């Protein structure tokens, strides 16, 4: 009998050690992560930015977006626990999660390959399935872009002569009683303010709009003007830039200058000779 007990006692010791290790393992796995009995599921929808007339509801596809990579992390940790591609209807699901708070997200990219995380927070229990709010995946050339708009005016000058018939100078001419009128076919330019590198130009009909501009940047806007020539100039017209105007572009999906924050209207005047 004593011999039997002596053999059983080590077994109880091993069992106790195993239980302790199991309890220690369980205590080390508290909090968010894999190894649980809960799940998170949801859908990803596509928002296509066709043009600057952006409307969230009009531009969002009615069906889910397939093939979008969805990631999951703990709410207070950036380490990715798992990722999955959405199915044909935009559906995704993460299983075997422990109780806690999580983030699920997809990455949207703009035309400059800047990434924006579309994040949804989800709180789950120790079991069962929790539904995440829809994730909206954005794409298109207008995504995350802003616009600059303004007006172009033209003032006309004509020469006048002295008593001997010689050109004495140039005087402004009023058109339909106006000192300046909308400039048609005026060429307006947009450039980076940091180094004045060319971005785009626009052939104006009195108004101009530059689209697909990166937010949170400053731009230079100017036009080419045919300036009033001096009496001694051998040229009929002399082209040069108008004074450069700087425009600060802040948020996407807006026109700048923004009168709502007190920005003055962007107005350029060119000069031409009759």
pLDDT (tens digit per residue) in 61-100: 767 899 999 999 999 998 999 999 999 899 999 999 999 9
Per residue in 219-269, pLDDT (tens digit) is 999 998 866 545 455 445 567 788 899 999 998 888 999 888 888 889 998
Residue % of the chain over a pLDDT of 90: 40
The domain locations on the chain are: 33-139, 146-273
CA–CA gap between residue 250 and residue 253 (Å, rounded): 10
**Distance, C-alpha 210 to centroid of its chain:** 16
Q: What are phi and psi of 249, to 5 degrees?
A: -105, 125
Dihedral sign of CA atoms 58, 255, 184, 191 in order: negative
Q: Mean of the pLDDT values across residues 147-169? A: 83
What is the DSSP secondary-structure string of 132-167?
PPPEEEEESTTTT-EEEEEEEEEEEEEEEE-TTS-E
pLDDT in tens, 22-55: 334 344 456 889 999 999 999 999 888 776 555 5
Q: How far apart are CA 98 and CA 241, in angstroms?
A: 65
Whether cis (ω within 30° of 0) applies to the bond prior to 50 is no
Q: What are phi and psi of 196, to 5 degrees?
A: 60, 20
Provide the pLDDT for residue 1.
Answer: 42
| Common-topology check for domains 33-139 and 146-273 | yes
**Which top CATH class is 146-273?**
mainly beta
Predicted local confidence at residue 68, as pLDDT: 94
- According to CATH, the topology of domain 33-139 is Immunoglobulin-like (2.60.40)
Distance separating alpha carbons of residues 148 and 246, to the nearest angstrom: 11
């Amino acid at each position: 009998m004593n011999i039997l007990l002596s053999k059983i006692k080590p077994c109880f010791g091993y069992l106790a050690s195993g239980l302790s290790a199991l309890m220690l393992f369980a205590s080390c796995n508290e909090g968010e992560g894999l190894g649980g009995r809960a799940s998170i599921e949801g859908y990803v929808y596509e928002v296509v930015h066709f043009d600057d007339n952006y409307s969230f509801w009009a531009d969002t596809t009615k069906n889910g977006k397939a093939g979008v990579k969805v990631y999951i992390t703990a709410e207070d940790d950036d380490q990715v626990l798992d990722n999955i591609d959405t199915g044909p209807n935009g559906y995704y699901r993460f299983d075997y999660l422990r109780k806690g708070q999580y983030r699920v997200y997809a990455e949207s990219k703009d035309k400059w390959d800047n990434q924006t995380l579309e994040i949804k927070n989800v709180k789950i229990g120790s079991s069962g399935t929790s539904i995440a709010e829809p994730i909206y995946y954005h794409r298109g050339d207008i995504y995350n872009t802003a616009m600059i708009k303004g007006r172009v005016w033209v003032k006309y000058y004509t020469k006048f002569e002295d008593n001997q018939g010689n050109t004495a100078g140039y005087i402004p001419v009023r058109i339909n009683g106006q000192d300046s009128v909308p400039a048609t076919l005026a060429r307006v330019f947009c450039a980076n303010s940091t180094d004045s590198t060319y971005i785009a130009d626009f052939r104006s009909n009195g108004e101009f709009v530059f689209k697909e501009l990166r937010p949170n940047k400053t731009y230079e806007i100017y036009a080419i003007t045919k300036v009033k020539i001096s009496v001694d100039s051998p040229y009929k017209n002399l082209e040069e830039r108008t004074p450069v105007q700087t425009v600060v572009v802040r948020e996407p999906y807006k026109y700048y200058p923004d009168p709502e924050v007190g920005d003055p209207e962007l107005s350029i005047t060119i000069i031409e000779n009759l």
